Structure 1
Amino acid sequence: MKITKLAAVAAVAIAALTGCGGSTESSDSTSNTAPTPASSTAPAQNIAAPSTNDLMSEPTAAGAKAFLHHAFELKSYAQQTGDIEPLLASLDGAEAAAADAEAIKAIYDDGGWILGGQPKVKQIVITTPAEEVAEGTEVDALIPVNPDAYTSFNEAGEVQETRPFDPAGSMYSATVVYSDGAWKATYLEETPDAELPATE
């Protein structure tokens, strides 16, 4: 009886210790994977790729807007991580956007990183009439954007390029097409001289 009782107590003690060890490990794991923004001394860490939403699967003006918001989120993600594959997957042509993505990748491939510069979309104006938006149709848009202040660093942590915050922002023009159940940008480029259509 005594032996059985001692064994039971030992088993409970071992289980408790194992449980404590497990929770500590889980806590460490959580803290080690918490997202950390970039700084002047280190790149961002553990930044998750932006998720999609159901609206993006619709061949509508609202779907085009949702997709374009996502495309700029993917650019922001690329600037923070150097991972341009999700952004490139959203493009079909769009040479200027692809070239921008490759320039981002080159900084990270050389051991550098980017601080700031994330594009803040102010609004997305679909200039193609809503009734004309359909699968296979080219849909045009104008997108006023305010990028954050931008600094790129090399592997040694030396500043390579800086761009201050411009409260006036800039304008992007885009053409997107819905095909095979998904939107793709065939054109996405900064066009500072483009103007939003006048509202009545």
Structure 2
Amino acid sequence: MYQDSAEGLASFTYYYFDAKNYALQTGDARLLRGIAQGCASCLAEADAIETVYDGGGWIVGGQPKALNVVPVGKQDKKGVLSALVPFMEDAGTTMAKGGKLVDSEEWDPDGTVLTVKAKYAHGAWQMLSIKETPDAQLPR
């Protein structure tokens, strides 16, 4: 995960989703925030998770599953590298204080593809962006 390489990016990407899973289960998004300081959508997800738990609610399910991480292209001069991630999420339910249903997402057996961009600097990776790109073609 700390290697400045495609393998390092892959390990870091799996770690990112583990951190997101931890935040979903506990409401503690500090780890997620720490590795995604430059990723606006990641920080927005962290905010949403914390808001649920801070209000006395909780989240059941919704665990992210990166099925593979396929680096694409070459790392640029700023240390940025992209990868395609075939991805699925478990069904999930968000409950408010007192057990009131707020939101429910069904499991999608087809999943999707995400494109992640991360930067290697100062001995570690930082997530820069995660976007759903269902039409992206995985290299063969």
Which residue number corresponds to residue 68 of structure 1? 13
Aligned residues: 140
CA contact (8 A) 1:173 1:194 kept: no
What SS does the corresponding residue of 2:110 show, helix, strand or coil? coil
Which residue number corresponds to residue 175 of structure 1? 117
Alignment root-mean-square deviation, CA:
1.5
Aligned AA (1:193)? P
CA contact (8 A) 2:115 2:133 kept: no
Mark the runs of 5 or more structure 1 residues left unpaired by the alignment: 1-55
TM-score (normalised: structure 1): 0.66
CA contact (8 A) 1:87 1:101 kept: yes
Which residue number corresponds to residue 94 of structure 1? 39
Aligned-residue identity in percent: 31
Please identify the structure whose Cα radius of gyration is greater: 1
What SS does the corresponding residue of 2:114 show, helix, strand or coil? strand
TM-score (normalised: structure 2): 0.93
Large movers: runs of 4+ above 6 Å: none
> Out of 76, 79, 82, which is 2:24 matched to?
79
> Out of 59, 70, 86, which is 2:4 matched to?
59
Query: Is 1:197 the equivalent of 2:138?
Result: yes
> Separation in 2 of the partners of 1:92 and 1:194?
27
Spell out, residue by residue over 1:15-57, the C-alpha distance to the aligned partner (whole angstroms, 9 max, x if none).
xxxxxxxxxxxxxxxxxxxxxxxxxxxxxxxxxxxxxxxxx11
CA contact (8 A) 2:37 2:43 kept: no
In structure 2, relative to structure 1, the CA distance for the partners of 1:194 and 1:137 (3 Å cut) is farther
CA contact (8 A) 1:91 1:98 kept: yes
Which residue number corresponds to residue 156 of structure 1? 98
CA contact (8 A) 2:84 2:138 kept: no
> Separation in 1 of the partners of 2:77 and 2:53?
37
Structure with a larger share of its residues in helix: 1
Aligned AA (1:184)? Q
Mark the runs of 5 or more structure 2 residues left unpaired by the alignment: none
Shift of 1:135: 7.9
What SS does the corresponding residue of 2:86 show, helix, strand or coil? strand
Shift of 1:142: 1.1
